[in-house]
Chain A
Amino acid sequence: MAATTKPMIECTKVSKVYPDGTVGLKNINLKIAQGEFVVIVGLSGAGKSTLLRSINRLQDITSGEILIAGESITSARGKALRLLRCNIGMIFQNFNLVKRSSVLRNVLTGRIAYYPTWKTTFNLFSKADKQTAYEALQQVGLADKVYSRADELSGGQQQRVSIARVLAQNPQLILADEPTASLDPQTSRKVMNDLKMLNEKYGMTVVANLHSVALAREFGQRVVGVRAGEIVYDGQMSDTPEAVFNDIYNGGVGKGVAQS
């Protein structure tokens, strides 16, 4: 594959300043290779979400450039942008399912970019895609919920539906923005295991923002530490001493003062 020679994500001098003057990202340079499982750690407000949401351009960056498998998402417009996004799955903290639609329809949402608009409007998904969606649900262990309404499911189940949505979308890259922040510890591990499965079985590159150091240590291959919009650490998990996490969460300039 041609894509393997190029990094999955390549951020060059990426900066983001919000309209109110808040600095979200400061001169970020980051390369992520295909097949990596990267965890981004840092305090709330450090810029983890901003970084992730810039990668698939849910937010525009102020300067710099982001390449996805060698193609610039920063300058893409319209259809080209949608095709690039089609190759990037996203998992959200609040699941972001359409609560009143069935689980199946939510999973099929992952396929919409592959169809002409008029077909999706009349719900004309192909039999093959419905089967794909159903298989995706089986992978996350929710086959029996296929016709349930999304809001009838528990939080953990909803998050797994959103993983099935990504599975149906079949992207090369997955961005997970605090995927476990609103889940209990056991469910969190289930969700992280599903992400690991996507990474190992399908070779999808995973970039996850995590709050929990324990989960980060267990699942991440590579750690990127973010503080105040800057990358302060980048290394393989196996080479990363505990002190680094302490530094990211407690150290730095006046951060984490109120910790007991």
Chain B
Amino acid sequence: METSYQKLVPQTTNKLKVCWHWLIAIAAIALIAWSFTDMDFGGIKASAGQIAGAIFKGIFHPDWHYVYTGDGEDLVSELWETMCIAFLGTFISAIISVPFAFWSAHTKYKRWWSARLGKIVLAVIRSFPEIVLALMFIKAVGPGSAAGVLALGFHSVGMLAKLFSEAIENLEEGANEAVTATGGSKWHIMMFATLPNLLPALISNTLYRFDVSLRSASILGLVGAGGIGYPLIIALQYRQWDRVGIILLGIIVMVVLVDWLSGWIRARLV
């Protein structure tokens, strides 16, 4: 059969749209240039070279004796404490996050303003940096790991509940409908269809959050909220660069190991 095909016509370009793209690009570059003008650069100190040398020497000659001393204030026990803070903080926030996520998920089972309100609450929680929260909790429960756990637990809810609620919104409606059709209530829908379907996303996001929390827990000690951050800031203040070196090395090893482990678990969750 004889067929004549049509010629491909070039995509029509919208002049106005092109202009807009250019304008946005120019504005972005101008903004970057402008932000440079407000930077106060006072020059390099005379002793900079010497200090930089000391830092490098220390970091590349770590203080191996600090790794394990047995008195509970060595690298291994401090890292362990950091990990515990991150774990407990994440665990607490994961549990708090579930009701928050259902509140702020935009589903057809509730009014739009309810979800909107939930999202605003989460944004407020998220906007408190964990360091600020840690300082506040130190005032409340005293310095130490409890303040760190509470700060992480509270801060993580903002992000974790947002991720959870997005997972709820992306769920397929089918299983929910099937439960509705058998005469189930909203609670039944949640228990029998939504939660089981949601579980992989919950676990995967929680593991991801644990990775992030671990990094946060490493610096919470800087303000006295327990963990590896405290010995790190002491070593920095006394200029014990070899100790700083071993602590940084320890953090790196811990983060890499946990990253690898949680990636492995997440890959198996399907």
Contact = CB atoms under 8 A, between A and B. Distances in A.
A58 B181 contact: yes
Contacts, number: 78
B190 to A, nearest CB: 9
Nearest to A90: B181
A102 to B, nearest CB: 10
A255 interface: no
Interface string A56-89: 1010000000000000000000000011111111
Interface in B191-243: 191-193, 196-197, 199-200
A217 B103 CA distance: 48
Given A82-B183, A86-B183, A109 B196 contact: no
A104 to B, nearest CB: 13
A99 B192 contact: no
Nearest to B198: A100
B183 A117 contact: no
B3 to A, nearest CB: 15
Interface in A98-128: 98-101, 105, 109-110, 112-113, 117, 120-121
Given A92-B178, A96-B175, A109-B179, A121 B191 contact: yes
A198 B185 CA distance: 26
Interface residues of A, number: 32
Interface of B is mostly: helix
B177 A96 contact: yes
Given A58-B177, A97-B175, A112-B188, A85 B182 contact: yes
A139 B175 CA distance: 23
Nearest to B190: A121
A100 B191 CA distance: 13
A120 B188 contact: yes
A54 interface: no
A46 B199 CA distance: 37
Contacts of A96: 174-175, 177-178
A176 to B, nearest CB: 11
B180 interface: yes
A105 B195 CA distance: 14
A110 B180 CA distance: 10
A172 interface: no
A94 interface: yes
Contacts of A99: 175, 197
Contacts of A113: 182-184, 188
A205 interface: no
A214 B178 CA distance: 27
Contacts of B188: 112-113, 117, 120
Nearest to A169: B182
A83 B174 contact: no
A18 to B, nearest CB: 14
A169 B188 CA distance: 15
Contacts of B177: 58, 92, 96
Contact of A162 (B178, B183, B199): B178
Contacts of B179: 109, 112
B149 to A, nearest CB: 29
A165 interface: yes
Given A85-B181, A94-B174, A121 B200 contact: no
Interface in A15-65: 56, 58
A120 B193 CA distance: 13
A80 to B, nearest CB: 11
Contacts of A100: 196-197, 199-200
Nearest to B191: A121
Interface in B99-113: none
A98 B191 contact: no
Contact of A109 (B185, B192, B197): B192
Contacts of A105: 192
27 contacts: A56-B181, A58-B177, A58-B181, A84-B183, A85-B180, A86-B182, A88-B181, A90-B178, A90-B181, A90-B182, A94-B174, A95-B174, A98-B192, A98-B193, A100-B196, A100-B197, A101-B192, A112-B188, A112-B192, A113-B183, A113-B184, A117-B187, A120-B191, A120-B192, A121-B191, A165-B178, A169-B183
Interface of B: 174-175, 177-185, 187-188, 191-193, 196-197, 199-200
Given A58-B180, A96-B175, A100-B200, 6 more contacts: A82-B183, A94-B174, A97-B178, A98-B192, A112-B183, A113-B183
Closest 8 CB pairs of A and B: A113-B183, A86-B183, A96-B174, A96-B178, A90-B181, A85-B183, A82-B183, A98-B175
